[in-house]
Structure 1
Amino acid sequence: MTPPRTDRRCPFWVPVLILVLTIGQLAVAEWAPGIERFADKAFGARLIAYPLMMLLVPAVWWLAVKRRRPEEPVPYGAFSLIMLGFLVDVTGNSLDLYDSLTWWDDMNHFVNWVFLLTGIGLIIGGPVRPGWARVLMVAGLGAMLAIGWELGEWYTFIRHGTELDTAYEDTLGDETLGTLGALLAGLVVQAVLRRREVATTHEEDPADPVARLSGVTGEST
């Protein structure tokens, strides 16, 4: 029996480690007594929601792709990118960076959306043509997720809290940063998938002058 192919760029233990580190910090935040920086940040809800969100895309991929095409390589690298933003968020709370660094929250909305949408884009972006449509798809999906995240924050933290005076400006800023992060992710996804497509074409027909030219010059469409 032929063993399942995996993503040679990333071993399987990387997303597992990210998941374990995230859950471990969430458990400490929820059950360790007397740590002020964890107070009133809904870590009980995060302990349930974050692992579910981290495993959602791998579970859907396994059901939708792996069961139909067992030979398909497992995209552990993309899974790791999707999970990485949750680890960064929890680690920022563990190190009290949200309160000690004024720019940390804004940076998270940008960088974590780069991670998240790059991972998602690498999984679903392959069949999308042309390249500009692939970029717009990733950016648009990121914008939708940014809006959904802000709705969740409003429902969980803001609607009965003390941040109503600044909520509008903060929400617009976070949605903008998330969308810009998703746009950058779309450009990264396009570059990575285009490079793979050129390499695949060259492997299939190394005598093809177009493939040779594209591989040398890095031209894209």
Structure 2
Amino acid sequence: MRLTRYGALLAKVLLLGLLLSALIWPDLSGIKGKASTARLVVYPLGAMVLPLWWWAYGRTRSKLHRTFPWSADLLMTLPWLIDLVGNRLNLFDTIGWWDDAMHFVLWGFLTAGVLLAFAPEGLPRGLTVFTALGFGTTAAVVWEVGEYVTFVRNSPELQTAYTDTLGDLTLGTLGALLAGLIVHRFRRTPSTSNV
């Protein structure tokens, strides 16, 4: 538990450092021309959703957690951090499979974190998977619409955007599906029935 807490805090510190460096040295950030302003707003919000919810509501009224859910927080922070690191190192533009892998893995992390934080334990497998698909697919659609509005429509990527978007949505949905199955398996108790 302590290691997870330190990992979540370290991920937030690294994310903040990368965001600050993108503000100070925008040409070196790897996100210039890729909706950098939107990322500078959305990424910290995405990483702080759970702590803000916990501070405002969860710590006093959560039926799911008696203490702060550090594992969920780490899983909900990693997608933003890994995306920034990937952009900083120019991996999205230099490694052909990187973008596809990230859509699968990062939506899996994000969906797993949301399930661990907000979905009650003991849900049947079918309901856990449907919840994962509902969140993960919706989040993937919102992400792709955001990409289109903020930078794809005015970039050279527009020529391949349709195919790329369909692939990204498919991979994000598959990542969410896998997250639902893993979280259910992780949480399953002998008395939990499978649907």
Could you tell me the TM-score, scaled by structure 2's length?
0.88
Aligned to 2:11: 18
Tell me how far 1:168 sits from its aligned partner.
Answer: 1.0
Moved over 4 A (4+): none
- The one of 137, 153, 158 aligned to 1:159: 153
Cα distance in 2 for partners of 1:69, 1:110 equals: 30
Instruction: Check 1:130–1:39 CA distance in 2 against 1; reply closer, same or farther (3 A cut).
Output: closer
Residues 1:63 and 2:56 aligned together = yes
Tell me how far 1:69 sits from its aligned partner.
Answer: 5.0
Retained in 1: the 8 A contact 2:4–2:74?
no
Tell me how far 1:20 sits from its aligned partner.
Answer: 1.1
Aligned ranges for residues 85-124 of structure 1 at < 5 Å?
Answer: 85-124=79-118
1:63 maps to amino acid: A
Retained in 1: the 8 A contact 2:38–2:150?
no
Structure 2: where are the runs of 5+ without partners?
Answer: none
Retained in 2: the 8 A contact 1:138–1:186?
yes
1:190 maps to amino acid: H
Cα distance in 2 for partners of 1:185, 1:116 equals: 9
Cα distance in 2 for partners of 1:36, 1:83 equals: 19
Structure with the greater alpha carbon radius of gyration: 1
Instruction: Check 1:193–1:34 CA distance in 2 against 1; reply closer, same or farther (3 A cut).
Output: closer
Cα distance in 1 for partners of 2:80, 2:28 equals: 20
Aligned to 1:53: 46
1:49 maps to amino acid: V
35-44 vs 140-149, which moves further:
35-44
101-110 vs 125-134, which moves further:
125-134
Aligned to 2:35: 42
Cα distance in 2 for partners of 1:182, 1:135 equals: 8
Bigger helix share: 2
Tell me how far 1:158 sits from its aligned partner.
Answer: 1.6
Could you tell me the TM-score, scaled by structure 1's length?
0.78
- The one of 78, 81, 101 aligned to 2:75: 81
Tell me how far 1:116 sits from its aligned partner.
Answer: 0.5
Structure 1: where are the runs of 5+ without partners?
Answer: 1-7, 199-210, 212-218
Aligned residue pairs, count: 193
Instruction: Check 1:132–1:38 CA distance in 2 against 1; reply closer, same or farther (3 A cut).
Output: closer
Cα distance in 2 for partners of 1:18, 1:33 equals: 21
Aligned ranges for residues 140-151 of structure 1 at < 5 Å?
Answer: 140-151=134-145
Per-residue Cα deviation, 1:41-79 (whole angstroms, up to 9, x for no partner) = 233332222111110133224433212259812110110
Cα distance in 2 for partners of 1:125, 1:45 equals: 28
Retained in 2: the 8 A contact 1:30–1:44?
no
1:15 maps to amino acid: A
Kindly indicate whether structure 1 or structure 2 has the higher relative contact order, using CA contacts under 8 Å at least 6 residues apart: 2
**Aligned sequence identity (%):** 41
Cα distance in 2 for partners of 1:108, 1:96 equals: 13
Tell me how far 1:37 sits from its aligned partner.
Answer: 4.0
